[in-house]
Amino acid sequence: MWIPPTRWNSDPVLADPPNGNGGAAPAVLLAEHEPAVAGMLARYLARDGLEVRPAATGELALQGLADRAHSAAVLDLTMPGLDPRRVRQALRIPVVFLAAPGPRPRGLTGGGARGGTARRWLTRPFGPRLLVATVRELLREAARGATASGAAVPAITAVGGLRLDGHRHVAVLGGRDVPLTQTEFGILAALMAAPGRPLSRRLLLTAAGRKADDRAADVYIAQLRAKLGDPGVIRTVRGAGYAIDPYPAGA
């Protein structure tokens, strides 16, 4: 696991830490103007299994907000160069805004954003564990992104050789597009957000915006397996639900 240093180099670069887990860890953009605070927050996020990509300047933070390769962002609104209007225009991913006490900037309040991106607010002072929990909440919301409300789904989610394309609303396996219904997409997004971990039938249907029903979940899983053309991609975990394991790349 890559752990960022406590104090970052002042060179204004957007770090791209090594990712040795095959891309399974969600990438989180972190833009915090105080180096010591940034290092502490980065360590807590990384220890929770997230890939942290720090942005050292407001300009690079804006670039990162528009990059759907990031699953979420943590954005210090007091960072120099971050104009609320430009933040609103750039925003394409779920974000946690770090703000000072007082009124919130106009145009950035509310639960939704341009492109359907989700947002949360943390007012200083706050604890790093609260930030981690808030980021995880955003990622869970992203896994439920196939609902009609249009909550954010990363542009491309990949587990081994299986990809989920959030723009075109299809799965891609072996170079073949697999069209999905809204519910199928939501279930597959939830499974791919937690590779290898069994998820209950109730959780999967809730994530897809459907009423929890064990039999209905089994039907949707059967449909997904048939469409993907390989029943082994989605594994049944007796007494626990279903899990998706990394599919052999290039298979």
The domain containing residue 59 runs over which residues? 27-143
pLDDT by residue for the chain (251 residues), tens only, comes to 233 333 333 223 233 333 333 334 788 999 999 999 999 999 999 998 889 999 999 999 999 888 877 888 999 999 998 888 889 888 888 899 998 888 877 767 654 434 446 788 888 888 899 999 888 877 777 665 534 344 444 556 777 778 888 777 788 888 888 898 888 888 888 888 778 888 888 888 877 777 777 788 999 999 999 998 876 789 999 888 999 876 544 44
Residue 213 counted as domain residue: yes
Same-domain pairing of 175 and 134? no
> 127 and 220 share a domain?
no
Task: Establish if 32 belongs to a structural domain.
Answer: yes
Residues 38 and 135 in one domain: yes
Does residue 227 lie in a domain region? Answer: yes
- Tokens 């990384």, residue located: 46
| 164 three-state secondary structure | strand
Q: How far apart are CA 84 and CA 243, in angstroms?
A: 40
Residues 176, 131 share a domain: no
Question: Where a domain ends, among 100, 120, 143?
Answer: 143
Q: Is residue 120 part of a domain?
A: yes
d(CA 96, CA 131): 8
47 touches 32 (CB < 8 A): no
